[in-house]
Amino acid sequence: MDDLNEHIELLEKKANLSKGIDDIQKTIDLLVTARAKVAAEPETAPMTLAKLQGPVEKSFDTAMNDLKKIYSGLGKYSKALDKKFKDKPLPTAENDALSSHPSLINRAIAMHLLREGQFSVASTFIEEANAHPPHPEPTPGTPNPYLEEAWEKDLVSGTFNSKQLQQQFAEMYHILHELRQQKNLAPAIAWARERSAVLEARGSNLEFELCQLQFVCLFSDGGMTDSDADGPLRAWAYARSEFGPFQHRYAREVQQLMGAMAYWQNIADSPYRRYFYNDSAWEEVATSFTREFCSLLGLSADSPLYIAATAGAIALPTLLKLQNIMKEKRTEWTTQNELPVEIPLPPSYHFHSIFVCPVSKEQSTDQNPPMMMPCGHVIAQESLDKLSKGARFKCPYCPGESHPRDAKKVFL
Ligand SMILES: [Zn+2]
């Protein structure tokens, strides 16, 4: 990586276009001056043009020389890139579970563009995807369990409501822009207040976090070392008018903010310093806002396409290695519904727990889900079928007896 950084530095310092642009500008200036002269004194035109020839030729040479450095810099950089990222073949697409779902992939791309705020790219993409609908080409032997799901068809049939989503995300980006760039909490607070009940039901702290930051901003407005108490007094008035609904759920936090009033002249040495000197406060409320906004739309805070592509990039080296081993040993990947090897992903990529049946020691699948018996013990569907044979049976882990129809499917 050092090698690459070195080349980037070189490109930035020496092999950039700034000198070239300057030199070309000089040539343009020469020509413009000459044109003005010819226009003003037409009789001197032949003389002016003759005088121009030498300098213009020279300036072209200089410009070409400037470009040489850029070409050689780019050449070296791309060589360094090739050296670092060797061209490796991708695993074959023999078991491509998505080959039968091209519309689903298009939908994921459209959603990704919309939620990234790339509205015009998204609408062009949706238009073109609708004009040229893709044709599924299932790879043989790959299961296609969800081919008929309605949510796959909504992009093709035009029921994918991109306009509405676009409006919603436009609102989200507007509020985020106000938060991050303008340090203006008002639109975010108004948004959260309108949805106060829903947010509270979700256990979200967003509304309070926003109002707390507003309090801090008012408090420190004018600088914390200021000797006049205007800021703290404005914060006090804000708390009195706005903190009422928070008294119960955030009693402790509200008390601490009020306690800070006593230290208004030396907050930095007070026990409440952390509320007032938090550099990441704005980014924290922005992240929290994005998470809540997306979840009220029924979406995750991060784009699923981004997560899938990143997880895929992490998995690729392992899968390539596996493919080589399979080739050498002439074996095949037979478990199409799950990966043949474990792929270690970072903790933020763990979305749900997995269940291993304590009887069969097998990991549960869609076809063989975990089932909970009335006694509370959980085993896989297949183990349940084998043990019960359709009649009342005893739980393998406690004296509890039950009928298999009383078992409930567990969703992880
Ligand atoms: Zn039991």
192-225 per-position pLDDT tens digit? 999 989 988 888 899 999 999 999 888 887 555 5
- Provide the pLDDT for residue 152: 53
CA 396 centroid distance within chain: 45
Average pLDDT, integer, range 374-380: 93
Give which of 278, 301, 171 is closest to 224, Cα–Cα.
278
Kindly give the distance from the C-alpha atom of residue 365 to the centroid of ligand 1, in angstroms, as a whole number: 22
Kindly give the distance from the C-alpha atom of residue 338 to the centroid of ligand 1, in angstroms, as a whole number: 29
Kindly give the distance from the C-alpha atom of residue 407 to the centroid of ligand 1, in angstroms, as a whole number: 11
Kindly give the distance from the C-alpha atom of residue 403 to the centroid of ligand 1, in angstroms, as a whole number: 12
Q: In residues, how long is the chain?
A: 412
Kindly give the distance from the C-alpha atom of residue 159 to the centroid of ligand 1, in angstroms, as a whole number: 47
Phi, psi of 379 (to 5 degrees): -135, 170
Residue 351 pLDDT more than 70? yes
81-108 per-position pLDDT tens digit? 888 887 777 777 676 777 777 888 888 8
Kindly give the distance from the C-alpha atom of residue 396 to the centroid of ligand 1, in angstroms, as a whole number: 7
Average pLDDT, integer, range 108-126: 85
User: pLDDT above 90 covers what percent of the chain?
Assistant: 19
Kindly give the distance from the C-alpha atom of residue 399 to the centroid of ligand 1, in angstroms, as a whole number: 6
Kindly give the distance from the C-alpha atom of residue 411 to the centroid of ligand 1, in angstroms, as a whole number: 19
Kindly give the distance from the C-alpha atom of residue 130 to the centroid of ligand 1, in angstroms, as a whole number: 53
Kindly give the distance from the C-alpha atom of residue 393 to the centroid of ligand 1, in angstroms, as a whole number: 11
Kindly give the distance from the C-alpha atom of residue 358 to the centroid of ligand 1, in angstroms, as a whole number: 12
- Provide the pLDDT for residue 136: 75
Kindly give the distance from the C-alpha atom of residue 379 to the centroid of ligand 1, in angstroms, as a whole number: 10
Kindly give the distance from the C-alpha atom of residue 41 to the centroid of ligand 1, in angstroms, as a whole number: 106
Confidence of residue 310 (pLDDT cuts 50, 70, 90): very high
Confidence of residue 380 (pLDDT cuts 50, 70, 90): very high
Average pLDDT, integer, range 143-150: 54
Kindly give the distance from the C-alpha atom of residue 402 to the centroid of ligand 1, in angstroms, as a whole number: 9
Residue 175 pLDDT more than 90? yes
CA torsion through residues 361, 365, 368, 373, sign? positive
Kindly give the distance from the C-alpha atom of residue 380 to the centroid of ligand 1, in angstroms, as a whole number: 13
Whole-angstrom CA distances from 81 to 4, 71, 73, 314 are 7, 15, 12, 20
Average pLDDT, integer, range 290-314: 87
268-289 per-position pLDDT tens digit? 788 888 888 888 889 899 989 9
